[in-house]
């Protein structure tokens, strides 16, 4: 059982929904990013998604793109990101961390070396948005051999013919993208999301977590109410990009987490 599996089992036993928060590693700089990362569990975050900066983030909107550019400009690398996680693990051995990004930096490092290093650092799951199920032998299956969950995205355009393929080797949870388009581009609506989550849950026992388009505590509550939890990324990253202090960012995150946990 991975940390992700254990976390969702514990939440289910408590009758609680999950709150997942995304930040970009190294944004706006390594020290500030590490401080925010360390504070997320105390702010109510159940699962952390840690973005891996990349030069061509095709699925991300301007907010996440700019965060990645700030991180890269500050010298953030894959190794520094893994080192951040290893430092986090010295004081927190239970909060799951999912590394989210693109395949190029992983491929460049070498899959086997990357998986060994990720496991040692304390990474629990991967979301690699540019590797479709047809490429599962590339990274998905090897990752699971290392005990690292491979989390797949489903979208409003994932129809009933495509869904079984998407779910086939997915583990940890299913990330349902609530809107079509890039991150931060529209608001998620529970009335639209609910039936889609039900459709996915009829095909899998995995938790279904909804992301994209969630910016307020009320929205977090509404979306978590029709799923197993919700993800907030762009809204948090926007606070970081505005130059807010780690304490101010974590206060904002705490409000979102409280909203999700009210669901």
- CB neighbours of 32 closer than 8 A, spacing ≥ 6? 240, 246
Sheet with 149-150, strands from edge to edge, namely 149-150, 125-128, 97-101, 47-51, 18-24, 229-232, 208-211, 174-177, 152-154
| Single pTM value for the model | 0.96
Cα–Cα distance between 182 and 97 in angstroms, integer? 23
**pLDDT at residue 179, rounded to an integer:** 74
**pLDDT at residue 213, rounded to an integer:** 86
pLDDT, tens digit, for every residue of 16-58?
999 999 999 999 999 999 999 999 999 999 999 999 999 998 8
**pLDDT at residue 130, rounded to an integer:** 94
- For the chain, the three-class secondary structure string (H helix, E strand, C coil) is CCHHHHHHHHHHHHCCCEEEEEEECCCCCHHHHHHHHHHCHHHCCCEEEEECCCCCCCCCCHHHHHHHHHHHHCCCCHHHHHHHHHHHHCCCCCCCEEEEECHHHHHHHCHHHHHHHHHHHCCCEEEECCCCHHHCCCCHHHHHHCCCEECEEECCCCCCCCHHHHHCCCCCCEEEECCCCCCCCCCCCHHHHHHHHHHHHCCCCCCEEEECCCCCHHHHHHHHCCCCEEEECHHHHHHHHCCCCHHHHHHHHHHHHHHHHHC
Nearest Cα neighbor of 103 from 74, 63, 73, 140 is 140
Domains of the chain with CATH codes: 3-262 (3.20.20.70)
**pLDDT at residue 184, rounded to an integer:** 55
**pLDDT at residue 192, rounded to an integer:** 85
- CB neighbours of 244 closer than 8 A, spacing ≥ 6? 252
Nearest Cα neighbor of 139 from 106, 97, 176 is 106
Cα–Cα distance between 67 and 15 in angstroms, integer? 34
**pLDDT at residue 3, rounded to an integer:** 98
Catalytic residues: 49, 60
Low-confidence ranges of the chain (pLDDT < 70): 180-186
Contact 174, 154 (CB under 8 A): yes
């Amino acid at each position: 059982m991975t940390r992700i599996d254990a976390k969702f089992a514990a939440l289910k036993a408590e009758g609680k929904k999950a709150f997942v928060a995304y930040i970009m590693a190294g944004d706006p700089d390594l020290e500030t990013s590490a401080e925010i990362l360390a504070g997320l569990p105390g702010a109510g975050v159940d699962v952390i998604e840690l973005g891996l900066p990349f030069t061509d983030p095709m699925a991300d909107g301007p907010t996440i793109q700019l965060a990645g550019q700030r991180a890269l400009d500050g010298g953030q690398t894959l190794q520094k990101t893994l080192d951040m996680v290893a430092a986090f693990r010295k004081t927190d051995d239970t909060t799951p961390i999912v590394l989210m990004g693109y395949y190029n930096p992983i491929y460049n490092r070498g899959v086997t070396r990357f998986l060994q290093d990720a496991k040692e650092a304390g990474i629990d799951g991967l979301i690699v948005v540019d590797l479709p199920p047809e490429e599962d032998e590339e990274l998905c299956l090897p990752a699971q051999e290392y005990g690292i969950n491979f989390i797949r995205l489903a979208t409003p355009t994932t129809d009933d013919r495509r869904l079984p393929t998407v779910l086939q080797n997915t583990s940890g949870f299913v990330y349902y993208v609530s809107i079509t388009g890039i991150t931060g581009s529209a608001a998620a609506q529970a009335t639209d999301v609910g039936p889609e989550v039900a459709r996915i849950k009829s095909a899998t026992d995995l938790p279904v977590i909804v992301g994209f388009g969630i910016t307020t505590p009320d929205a977090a509550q509404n979306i978590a109410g029709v799923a197993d939890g919700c993800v907030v990324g762009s809204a948090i990253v926007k606070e970081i990009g505005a130059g807010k202090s780690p304490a101010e960012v974590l206060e904002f995150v705490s409000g979102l987490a409280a909203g999700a946990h009210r669901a």
